[in-house]
C-alpha cells in the first residue's frame, strides 16, 4: 500500500496564516485595527431574511439536496429578472456557500490525474486548491490560445474578479466559450460579485444569450448570497447552467450528503425574491468604496481595475505588496498582499470595503496622516 501524503504536501499553506504578524501589528494601534483584508460582511442580515429562516426552523426531516421547488423558482426568477438569463427547469442547484462548490467542483465532475484545469493568472486561491484536491493539474493563465495540446477539461473564469475587480466584456467571454467548445472543455464562471458593478460597469453572466448564443451546454455559473444579502454566515450559494452537468452534480451530492439546510433554503428564497435589500446594501458599499478610493489616491496610491466587486486593487509607487502591507499595518490598517492571488500580484494589495462606516472613516483618517 502506498504511503499517505500529508495535507501539507498536497495543498499550499493557507495564505492568511502568513498575515498573522501584520494583523498583530495593526491590532496594537491605539485606535484599534481596521481590518480590510477579508471581504466578510459586517452589516445586519435583513429582517425579512431572518424571519424566513426562523419560520422554517421547525424542519425535522431531511431537506432536499436539489432544493425546494420554491427556491429553484426563486433562483430562476432572479437570474432572468436581474441578469437576463433564462435557465431550464432542473438547471439550478443550491450549494453550501460558493467556496464549497469551487473547492469540490473538479472532484464532483470526476476530474483527476492527467486532467488540466485552467485558472486565471490572478485568482481566488480556492480554484487551485480544488484542482489539487482532485489530483488534477492547475494551469494559471489568461491566454487560452497558448496552451497547446494540453487536455483541458475545465476552465475557470471570474468576472467580476477577485482580487482585481476586473470585469470581462461580452466579447472576451464569447471567446472563452468558443475556445472551450472547440476543445471540449467545461467553463465554470464564478459570478459571486455579478450584482456589484460600479461607475457604469455592467458585468455579464457566462449564461447570457449574448455570450453563449442561447446554449448552456458545458457552462456553469456559480453564485453566492454572502455579499449581496449579508448571508456569509448562512452558507448560501447556488450553481446554474447546463442541465446535464447540474444533474450530474446533483447525483454526486446526493450520495455525499452535500445539502443546504431547509431553514437556509427558505432564507435564500426570501433573499432572491427581494431586490430592495440588495440595492440598499449596494449603496452602503458604494459610499465606503468612494471614501476609501479617494483616501488611497489622495495618499499617492494607484487604483487599477476595481470597477466591480468589493475590493480596491491598489499599489504604492515605492513598495512591493508586503512592504505596502507593512506600512499600512503600522497605521493600524490591515490589507491582503496581492501575491496571495498569484505571482503577478506582487506589487499590489487588495483592500476590502466591507468594514463598518466607523472603521472606514478611521482608515480614511489614518491614510491622511
Within this chain, do residues 82 and 194 fall inside the same structural domain, yes or no? Answer: yes
- Within a domain: residue 97? yes
For residues 312 and 248, membership in a common domain is answered with no
Same domain, 246 and 320: no
Please tell me whether residues 305 and 214 are part of one structural domain.
no
State whether 84 and 27 are in the same domain. no
In a domain, 2, yes or no: no
The reply to whether 110 and 177 lie within a common domain is: yes
Residue 1 falls inside a structural domain: no
pLDDT tens-place values along the chain, 369 residues long: 456 565 556 666 677 788 999 999 999 999 999 999 998 999 999 999 999 999 999 999 999 999 999 999 999 999 999 999 999 988 999 999 999 999 999 999 999 999 999 999 999 999 999 999 999 999 999 887 767 677 899 999 999 999 999 999 999 999 999 999 999 999 999 999 999 999 999 999 999 999 999 999 999 999 999 999 999 999 999 999 999 999 999 999 999 999 999 999 999 999 999 999 999 999 999 999 999 999 999 999 999 999 999 999 999 999 999 999 999 999 999 999 999 999 999 999 999 999 999 999 999 999 998
361: left (phi over 0), alpha (psi -120 to 50) or beta: alpha
Does 156 share its domain with 13?
Answer: no
Choose one of 223, 242, 273: the last residue of a domain.
Answer: 273
- Give yes or no for a contact between 144 and 118, defined as CB atoms under 8 angstroms apart: yes
Cβ atoms within 10 Å of 331's Cβ, excluding its own: 18
Closest CA to 23 of 351, 326, 321: 326
**Is 171 in the same domain as 218?**
yes
CATH, residue 197: 3.40.640.10
As a whole number of angstroms, the distance between CA 247 and CA 332 comes to 48
Determine the structural domain holding residue 35 and report its residue range. Answer: 7-44+277-367
Q: How far is CA 304 from CA 94, 166, 259, 350, in A?
A: 34, 9, 39, 11
* 201 inside domain: yes
Residue 228 and residue 329 in one domain = no
Q: Does residue 158 sit in the same domain as residue 189?
A: yes
Amino acid at each position: 500500500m502506498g504511503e499517505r501524503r500529508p495535507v501539507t504536501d498536497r495543498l499550499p499553506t493557507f495564505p492568511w496564516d502568513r498575515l498573522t504578524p501584520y494583523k498583530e501589528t495593526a491590532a496594537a494601534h491605539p485606535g484599534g485595527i481596521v481590518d480590510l483584508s477579508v471581504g466578510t460582511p459586517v452589516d445586519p442580515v435583513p429582517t425579512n431574511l431572518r424571519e424566513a429562516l426562523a419560520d422554517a426552523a421547525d424542519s425535522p426531516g431531511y431537506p432536499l439536496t436539489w432544493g425546494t421547488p420554491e427556491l429553484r423558482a426563486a433562483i430562476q426568477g432572479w437570474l432572468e429578472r436581474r441578469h437576463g438569463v433564462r435557465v431550464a427547469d432542473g438547471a439550478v442547484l443550491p450549494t453550501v456557500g460558493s467556496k464549497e462548490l469551487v473547492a469540490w467542483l473538479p472532484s464532483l465532475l470526476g476530474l483527476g490525474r492527467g486532467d488540466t484545469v485552467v485558472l486565471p493568472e490572478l485568482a481566488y486561491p480556492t480554484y487551485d486548491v480544488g484542482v489539487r484536491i482532485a489530483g488534477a493539474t492547475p494551469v494559471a493563465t489568461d491566454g487560452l490560445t497558448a496552451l497547446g495540446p494540453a487536455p483541458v477539461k475545465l476552465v475557470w473564469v471570474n468576472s467580476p474578479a477577485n482580487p482585481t475587480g476586473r470585469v470581462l466584456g461580452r466579447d472576451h467571454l464569447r471567446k472563452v466559450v468558443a475556445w472551450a467548445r472547440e476543445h471540449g472543455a467545461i467553463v465554470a464562471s464564478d459570478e459571486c460579485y455579478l450584482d456589484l458593478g460600479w461607475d457604469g460597469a455592467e458585468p455579464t453572466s457566462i449564461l447570457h444569450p449574448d455570450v453563449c448564443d442561447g446554449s448552456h451546454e458545458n457552462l456553469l455559473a456559480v453564485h453566492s448570497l454572502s455579499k449581496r444579502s449579508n448571508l456569509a454566515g448562512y452558507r448560501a450559494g447556488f450553481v446554474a447552467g447546463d442541465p446535464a452537468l447540474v444533474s450530474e452534480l446533483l447525483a454526486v451530492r446526493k450520495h455525499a450528503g452535500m445539502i443546504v439546510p431547509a431553514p437556509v433554503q427558505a432564507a435564500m428564497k426570501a433573499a432572491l425574491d427581494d431586490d430592495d435589500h440588495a440595492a440598499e446594501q449596494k449603496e452602503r458599499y458604494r459610499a465606503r468604496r468612494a471614501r476609501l478610493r479617494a483616501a488611497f489616491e489622495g495618499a499617492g496610491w494607484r487604483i487599477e481595475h476595481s470597477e466591480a466587486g468589493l475590493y480596491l486593487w491598489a499599489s504604492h509607487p515605492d513598495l512591493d505588496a508586503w512592504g505596502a502591507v507593512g506600512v499600512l499595518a503600522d497605521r493600524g490598517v490591515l490589507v491582503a498582499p496581492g501575491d496571495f492571488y498569484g505571482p503577478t500580484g506582487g506589487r499590489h494589495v487588495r483592500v476590502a470595503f466591507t468594514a463598518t462606516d466607523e472603521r472606514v472613516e478611521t482608515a480614511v483618517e489614518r491614510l491622511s496622516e
